[in-house]
Amino acid sequence: MGKVISVCNPKGGTAKTSTAVNLACSFTTVNKKVLLIDFDPQRSASVALGYEYTDVEHNIATALLDNVSVKKCITPYLKGGFDVVLSSDDLVALPSVLHSKVNAQSSLYSCLEPIINDYDYIIIDTPASLNLITQCAMCASDYIIIPVCCDIFAIDSMNTLLEKYLLLKEQGKAHCSILGIVRTLFDKEQSLSKTISHELEHSFKDLLFTTSVSYNQKISESSSAACPVLVYDKTSVGAREYLSLCGEILKKTRTSSL
């Protein structure tokens, strides 16, 4: 069974895109078949892999708004060894288009259903929002990963996400579980980073991944070089930490009952 994982946090700049892109790349190192879906109208994951808006005819917006089969939206990202479904700023219209539909939140799941078992893992990058786009991603997923940068707003934004997650579960719309919280942009030299990190350990215990992703210049350089850090510099601390996170995810998803 293919496993669908959304990377979510309504707070901006918590490394959702970096985590989605680098996890997709990490899974291929253990021969997993992976699809990365850029589900953000900002197109950050598409840009982070070097794609221009005009490079493909179909994307996740045409799949959902024009009923194009998702199979026609898949592009192989040869440098990373995984497939991608790119985004378009047209996706911004999705919430207003879906607004009045009864099963609005299940639209991404319906779109992906025919291809879920073609992959071991499908990773979805989501926008910094809890609007219908993110809700659709949550409802299409088996698991959610929450990247949290260790600043003072970290816990607030996570609690907002968890409230929405619980509501969608209560309403029977989402069936996913929280796979884990990953500390990102972690700076062990900063006392605030360490304090927030300890608070997260105290509050979320086993839900917190052991791996944290440190602030690493190679990750920001790789974004500018338009490739995953594993392609940009596979010996970097950032690459090694994402591989370690990938190892934890493999273990957790193997032992999970889902």
Ligand X SMILES: Nc1ncnc2c1ncn2[C@@H]1O[C@H](COP(=O)(O)OP(=O)(O)OP(=O)(O)O)[C@@H](O)[C@H]1O
Binding site for ligand X (CB under 6 A): 12-18, 40, 42, 44, 128, 184-185, 213, 215-216, 219-220, 223, 238
CA separation for the pair 120, 1 (Å, rounded): 7
Q: Which of 9, 14, 17, 236 binds Mg ion (CB under 5 A)?
A: 17
Q: Which is nearer to ligand X, 28 or 216 (CB)?
A: 216
- Nearest 5°: phi and psi at 250? -60, -45
Min CB(128)–Mg ion separation in Å: 7
Q: Which is nearer to ligand X, 47 or 93 (CB)?
A: 47
Give every CB contact of residue 251 below 8 A, 6+ residues apart in sequence.
Answer: none
Q: Which is nearer to Mg ion, 5 or 106 (CB)?
A: 5
- Position 44 contacts Mg ion (CB under 5 A): yes
CA separation for the pair 172, 170 (Å, rounded): 5
CA separation for the pair 162, 156 (Å, rounded): 10
- From 38-46, 74-82, 205-213, 238-246, give the range in contact with Mg ion by CB under 5 A: 38-46
Q: Which of 3, 11, 16, 58 binds Mg ion (CB under 5 A)?
A: 16
Q: How many residues does the chain have?
A: 258
- From 9-17, 78-86, 158-166, 202-210, give the range in contact with Mg ion by CB under 5 A: 9-17
- Total site size for Mg ion, rule CB under 5 A: 3
Number of C-alpha atoms within 13 angstroms, CB side, residue 111? 29
Give every CB contact of residue 34 below 8 A, 6+ residues apart in sequence.
Answer: 24, 27, 28, 82, 83, 119, 120, 121, 122, 123
CA separation for the pair 49, 115 (Å, rounded): 22
- From 44-52, 80-88, 90-98, 101-109, give the range in contact with Mg ion by CB under 5 A: 44-52
Residue found under tokens 């996706």: 91
Min CB(72)–ligand X separation in Å: 26
At 182 the three-state DSSP class reads strand
- Position 6 contacts Mg ion (CB under 5 A): no
Residue 2 binds which entry of Mg ion, ligand X, none, CB below 5-8 Å type-dependent? none
- Supply the DSSP symbol for 75: E
Q: Which is nearer to ligand X, 106 or 238 (CB)?
A: 238
List interacting residues with Mg ion (CB under 5 A): 16-17, 44
